[in-house]
Structures are given as structure tokens and as C-alpha cells.
Amino acid sequence: MMPHTADVVIIGGGVIGSSIAYALAVRRIPVLLLEKRGICSATSCSCEGFVFLQSKKPGVHLRMALESARRFKSLEDELETGIEYVNCGGMVAIESREEFEAMSVFAEQQLNIGLDVRLLDGQSARTIEPELSERIAGATYSPQDSQVNPMLLTYAFIDKARKLGAQVCTETAVTAIGVQNGAVESVITSRGVIQTRVVINAAGPFAPEIGRMAGLAIPITPRRGQLIVTEAAPPLLKSVILSAAYIAAKFNPDCARWAGEGISVEQTASGNLVIGSTREFVGYDTAVTAQGIKAVSRRIVSLIPRLAGLNIIRTFAGLRPYTPDGLPILGAVEGVEGFIMAAGHEGDGIALSPVTGDLIAQLVDKGRTDISLDDFGLERFNA
């Protein structure tokens, strides 16, 4: 049964909406989550599971990720279920002298913020990851990087939220938002109207559509990533690995044109290798292309030659919710009282989900947050 009123409505049942539902339910705040399809049916089920700190911009981005990483350590106990969280360490493979210089500056800045990150030469990198190609010139390594199963994580958040009293309606699309005198008063859905004063936009790459319903322009663009899954293999990798070019492609939109230029690889608990990915602006098209998969395959084999012997069993693509400055959009929105943003996590939504849930729940509960959301406001794009 769909309720007719709710204290708080969350729109979107991906990892972000589910984490917020859990954090609100822990605080005993009545919450209703609306999802147009099923739980974990969009980007959060079309991604990898890096809880990677080294790819975060030194500054507020990394500070938030460090807090999220701290939260992950107790999450399995809190959620009372397995999420395949492993603090396996992470490596950024460096392929040229130019990259080595850029990464040493990047790592130095991260070290100053509190990340345990080390610069290694090629031989030391291969001591940790013997399968790395001989042509790898070096690496940065952090023992703080980790991995998790994104789908198990999302379901664990929502299941625990439900146990704590959260209401969840799937197959329920939000079609309009009622705003009266500059304040939210209702949410109109495919299954009826809900009176509410607080709406949280956690619709990931679809957040702009929800924004338009309240007269807001939200600069989030879908950025496609194509991924490969191989057959299960015996343990080949100890850590989760990115190439330094991945970090360049992540922060420099011009690099997005080079589909497949950056590479990432993780071995999952079941032994499959998940290899990604492209960074392409192609609207909401989630098709996999021969060009994209070829580019990803070529790059990974040049990084880890042994993977050439594995069969590909599946390919898929997801849409990262990209923002122009690489930071998510979080917090209350000026001009529409009761409208809260929690979207735009690009390639970091899995890693940042615990801290995002906590911060948004704090905002709803107390009107303030432990970590300032000043740098994350929608208003930064109007300056």
C-alpha cells in the first residue's frame, strides 16, 4: 500500500538513496523511498566496487572519501550481512615519466591530507603485483584502498533500512513535485500523490529530470562506462588497480573522448575479473560497443598481459552521474525549501555512499552536518 503522507521522501533506490534511507531509519526518522524500477537497477548495478581513495581530488573530495572509508570498516557488522568488503589495498600503475611526475605531485598532496600513499618504482610495484607488465614504470600504492560488492551493499542498506521501519515502494515513478510558495508540499507518482515537506533527489544520472519537476537546473550529465567480466580465475591480483591515465580521464573532460584510455581492474570474491572502462558522453545510451570493448581489452592486456588468456563472459555499461567539477551535489537547495540534493557522484558513488547517507540524514535531523556541505551545493554552479 502506498502511503498518502511521509515525513521524508527519497527519490531513487540506487546505492545513494538506499544509504540515505538506512541512515534516516537508524535515526528513527520516518522515511519513504520511491524507485521507478527495482532497487539497484540503474548505475549501482552497472559498475565496479572500488572503495578507492587515491583517485579522489586532494581537498574536500578526499576528506569525505576518508570518512566514508572509515565507515566501511564497521558496515558489515552494522548491516548484519556480507557485502564482500575487503581492505585489499590499491595501486595506480604509472606508464611513463610524465605520469610519474604528475602522480608524485598528486600523491604528495594526498599524503598531506592524511592518506597513507607511497610512490613505488616498477620493480617494487611488481613485488606487490607480480602480474603487472614489465613496461610499468612505477606505481602509487595505498593500503587504505578497498573493494566491496556494490549490489550486495545496496541491498544491505535497503534491507536494514526496511527492518528499521523505512517504507520502500518500487515500480513507482515520480512524475511531478508540488511546490507551493517556494516550498515542497507533495510528490506525484505513477501510483498516487504523497504529501510531504522534504524530498531528497537521489536519482543519480536521472537527477536533472527530478530537478526540472521543481523548476531547478541540475548540471549532471550521464557519462557511459563500458565494462568486461572474465571467467573466474585463481587469485591473480592482491589489490584493486587503476592506471594513472584513468585519473587523468576522470578529472579532465577532454580525455573522455579517448574511450578506454584509462583502465581499472579488480578481482571479485568469486574470482571473476571486472575490467573497465570507457568514459563517454552519449546521452542515456547504455549499449556496449565493439570499439569500447576492444579499447578496454587492449589496454588491460598491455597492463596485465596474463589476462589475455582469460575468456570474457559478459560485458555491460553503466551511466556515471557526471558533474562539471567532479564533486557530487549535496544538501539543501536555495529557493525550494525542503528540496535536498544527493546525486552526481560520478565514478565514486559506491565509495562515497556511507558518508553521503550519514550527512544527508544529519541535515534532515538537525539542519547541520559534521562535514560542511558548502563546497557541494547546487549554487556553486551559478557563481
Q: Are strands 50-51 and 146-147 parallel, antiparallel or unpaired?
A: antiparallel
**Residues 114-143 contacting ligand FAD, CB under 6 A:** none
Of the listed pieces 89-97, 242-250, 329-337, 338-346, which binds ligand FAD according to CB under 6 A? 338-346
Please tell me whether residue 322 binds ligand FAD under the rule CB under 6 A.
Answer: no
Least Å distance, CB 377 to ligand FAD, is 17
Please tell me whether residue 277 binds ligand FAD under the rule CB under 6 A.
Answer: yes
The secondary element (H helix, E strand) that includes residue 138 is: strand 138-142
Give start and end residues of each alpha helix (H) in the chain.
Answer: 15-26, 60-72, 75-79, 97-113, 122-128, 150-163, 207-213, 244-251, 290-303, 353-366
**Nearest by Cα to 228 from 153, 280, 281, 290:** 290
Please tell me whether residue 318 binds ligand FAD under the rule CB under 6 A.
Answer: yes
Please tell me whether residue 36 binds ligand FAD under the rule CB under 6 A.
Answer: yes
Please tell me whether residue 202 binds ligand FAD under the rule CB under 6 A.
Answer: yes
Please tell me whether residue 14 binds ligand FAD under the rule CB under 6 A.
Answer: yes
Identity of the residue numbered 358: D
Please tell me whether residue 9 binds ligand FAD under the rule CB under 6 A.
Answer: no
- Out of 89, 205, 331, 354, the residue judged to bind ligand FAD by CB under 6 A: 205
Between 17 and 122, CB nearer to ligand FAD: 17
Please tell me whether residue 81 binds ligand FAD under the rule CB under 6 A.
Answer: no
Q: Is the peptide bond prior to 277 cis by the omega test (within 30 degrees of 0)?
A: yes
Please tell me whether residue 263 binds ligand FAD under the rule CB under 6 A.
Answer: no
Identify the three-state secondary structure at position 164: coil
Please tell me whether residue 321 binds ligand FAD under the rule CB under 6 A.
Answer: yes
Of the listed pieces 75-83, 285-293, 340-348, 375-383, which binds ligand FAD according to CB under 6 A? 340-348
| Direct distance between the N- and C-terminal alpha carbons of the chain, in angstroms, rounded to an integer | 44
**Burial class of residue 244, CB neighbours in 10 A (0-12, 13-18, 19+):** buried
Please tell me whether residue 249 binds ligand FAD under the rule CB under 6 A.
Answer: no
Please tell me whether residue 11 binds ligand FAD under the rule CB under 6 A.
Answer: yes
Please tell me whether residue 145 binds ligand FAD under the rule CB under 6 A.
Answer: no
Between 33 and 122, CB nearer to ligand FAD: 33
185-208: string of b/e by CB count within 10 Å (b at 16+)? ebbebeeeebebebbbbbbbbbbb
**Residues 298-317 contacting ligand FAD, CB under 6 A:** none
Between 15 and 94, CB nearer to ligand FAD: 15
Q: How far, rounded to the nearest angstrom, does the alpha carbon of residue 42 sit from its chain's CA centroid?
A: 12
- Out of 44, 144, 167, 239, the residue judged to bind ligand FAD by CB under 6 A: 44
- Out of 6, 8, 10, 17, the residue judged to bind ligand FAD by CB under 6 A: 17
Classify the C-alpha dihedral 45-51-53-59 as positive or negative: positive
Query: How far is 245 from 202, CA to CA, in rounded Å?
Result: 29
Query: CA–CA distance from 327 to each of 64, 181, 340 (Å)?
Result: 11, 30, 16
Is the separation of the CB atoms in 15 and 150 below 8 Å?
yes
Between 126 and 162, CB nearer to ligand FAD: 162
Please tell me whether residue 259 binds ligand FAD under the rule CB under 6 A.
Answer: no
**Nearest by Cα to 317 from 226, 234, 229:** 226
Write down the residue that cell numbers 536555495 correspond to: 334
Of the listed pieces 6-14, 178-186, 295-303, 365-373, which binds ligand FAD according to CB under 6 A? 6-14
* Residues binding ligand FAD (CB under 6 A): 11-17, 34-37, 41-44, 46-50, 173-174, 202-206, 210, 225, 227, 276-277, 318-321, 343, 345-351
